[in-house]
C-alpha cells in the first residue's frame, strides 16, 4: 500500500526500503514466545508507544472461553484508560460464519463468502460488547476481479453511537464527514 502497487510488482529495492520504513515506525515483540496478557501489557507500558496491536488474539497464552474473554477485554480497557493507550485486537470469524449460510446466493458475488458480522467473531459477543470500535476487514479472495480489493465495514463506533452495521448509511457518512466517504 505504501507504494500504491501490488506487492508482486515491487522491485527488490522497494521491498527493502519499505521494510526499513516499517522497522523505523513500528516496534515488534518476538513471535517466538507465547505471552500471557499481562506480560504483553507490560511490554506495551515499557515501550514509548501509545498504540498496540495484538495479532492474533488467539495467540495469547490464556483461556479462550466467554468469561475469560470478558476478563481479558476488561483488563485491556483498564490499561487503556490508565495509560492513555489504544489497543487494536485482530481476530477472525469463527468457523460457523464460513458455512453456506454466509455465502452470497445471487448477484455478481454469488458463491463467495460474505463479510462476517460482529457476532461471527472468534471469541463471541464479548468483543462487540466491550470494544469501543469494531471494524471488519474482508476480501473476496477467490473472486477474479475483487481479490485484490479490501473492504472495511464499520460495525461499531461507540463515540458516534454507531452500534449496527454501517453499510454505507448516509446519516453515518454525514456524521463522519470526509473520513466516512467511500473511495
User: What is the rounded distance in angstroms from the CA atom of residue 156 to the CA atom of residue 135?
Assistant: 7
Read off the pLDDT band of 77 (50, 70, 90): very high
Number of domains in the chain: 1
Read off the pLDDT band of 155 (50, 70, 90): confident
Q: For the chain, how are helix, strand and coil distributed in percent, rounded to 5?
A: 45, 15, 45
What is the structure's pLDDT at 79?
95
Q: Which of the pair, 67 or 156, is modelled with greater confidence?
A: 67
Sole residue written with cell 462476517: 116
Q: Is residue 91 part of a domain?
A: no
User: What is the rounded distance in angstroms from the CA atom of residue 43 to the CA atom of residue 48?
Assistant: 10
Q: What is the mean pLDDT of the chain?
A: 81
What one-character-per-residue DSSP string does 15-75 give?
HHHHHHHHHHH-----TTS---HHHHHHHHHHSS-SEEEES-GGGSSS--SHHHHHHHHHH
Domain containing 17 equals: 1-27
The alpha carbons of the chain give a radius of gyration, in whole angstroms, of: 19
Read off the pLDDT band of 179 (50, 70, 90): low
Which cell numbers in the block locate residue 11?
Answer: 522491485
Contact 119, 102 (CB under 8 A): no
Range 95-101 average pLDDT: 59
Q: Is residue 16 part of a domain?
A: yes
Read off the pLDDT band of 57 (50, 70, 90): confident
User: What value, to the nearest 5°, has the Cα angle with vertex 121 and ends 117 and 126?
Assistant: 110
> Is 33's pLDDT higher than 90?
no
What is the structure's pLDDT at 159?
72
What is the structure's pLDDT at 183?
44
> Is 119's pLDDT higher than 50?
yes
Q: Is residue 42 part of a domain?
A: no
Q: Is residue 3 part of a domain?
A: yes
> Is 129's pLDDT higher than 60?
yes
Q: Is residue 18 part of a domain?
A: yes
152: three-class secondary structure by DSSP: strand
Q: Is residue 53 part of a domain?
A: no
**18-32, 48-62, 129-143, 167-181: segment of lowest average pLDDT:** 167-181
> Is 60's pLDDT higher than 70?
yes
Neighbours of 97 (CB within 10 A): 18
Range 30-44 average pLDDT: 90
Strands 151-157 and 133-138: antiparallel
Q: Is residue 126 part of a domain?
A: no
Q: Is residue 21 part of a domain?
A: yes
Amino acid at each position: 500500500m505504501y507504494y500504491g502497487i501490488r506487492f508482486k510488482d515491487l522491485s527488490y529495492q522497494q521491498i527493502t526500503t519499505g521494510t526499513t520504513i516499517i522497522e523505523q515506525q513500528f516496534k515488534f515483540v518476538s513471535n517466538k514466545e507465547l505471552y500471557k496478557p499481562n506480560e504483553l501489557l507490560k511490554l506495551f507500558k515499557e515501550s514509548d508507544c501509545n498504540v498496540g496491536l495484538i495479532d492474533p488474539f488467539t495467540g495469547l497464552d490464556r483461556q479462550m472461553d466467554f468469561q475469560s474473554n470478558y476478563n481479558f477485554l476488561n483488563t485491556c480497557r483498564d490499561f487503556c484508560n490508565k495509560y492513555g493507550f489504544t489497543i487494536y485486537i485482530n481476530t477472525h470469524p469463527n468457523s460457523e460464519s464460513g458455512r453456506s449460510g454466509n455465502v452470497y446466493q445471487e448477484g455478481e458475488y454469488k458463491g463467495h463468502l460474505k463479510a462476517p458480522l460482529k457476532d461471527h467473531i472468534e471469541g463471541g459477543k464479548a468483543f462487540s460488547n466491550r470494544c469501543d470500535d469494531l471494524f471488519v476487514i474482508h476480501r473476496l479472495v477467490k473472486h477474479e476481479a475483487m481479490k485484490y480489493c479490501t473492504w472495511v465495514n464499520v460495525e461499531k463506533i461507540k463515540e458516534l453511537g454507531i452500534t449496527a452495521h454501517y453499510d454505507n448509511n448516509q446519516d453515518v457518512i454525514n456524521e463522519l464527514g470526509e473520513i466516512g466517504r467511500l473511495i
